[in-house]
Amino acid sequence: RRCVALDPAFFDGWHALGLALLKSGETKEAIGCGLQAVTLQPNDLLAWTALSQMYVRDGNIPEAEAAKGNARILSLGGRVVRD
């Protein structure tokens, strides 16, 4: 939490914090971190995959499917957001 407090644009910090929160069962907070990660790097396959898992754990299947769809696009070489 300290890393992202010091540097809110630190993608790796948001991604790692989200995964740690997911492991500890804090799914709502994990989702917030996951959303911040994909906002910072919208074309990151692992970030979308992790966000999908966060939504699954939260029971939000429509959002999980949407995040999974973005991960699928990226896995096929596509882009979610064009640079």
More confident residue, 14 or 81: 14
Backbone angles phi, psi at 48, to 5 degrees: -70, -40
Position 8 scores a pLDDT of 96
> Which residue in the block uniquely carries the two structure tokens 């989702």?
31
Fold classified for 2-75? 1.25.40
Taking alpha carbons only, the member of 31, 34, 37 closest to residue 9 is 37
Average pLDDT over residues 55-65: 98
Position 60 scores a pLDDT of 98
CA pair distance 73, 2, nearest whole angstrom:
33
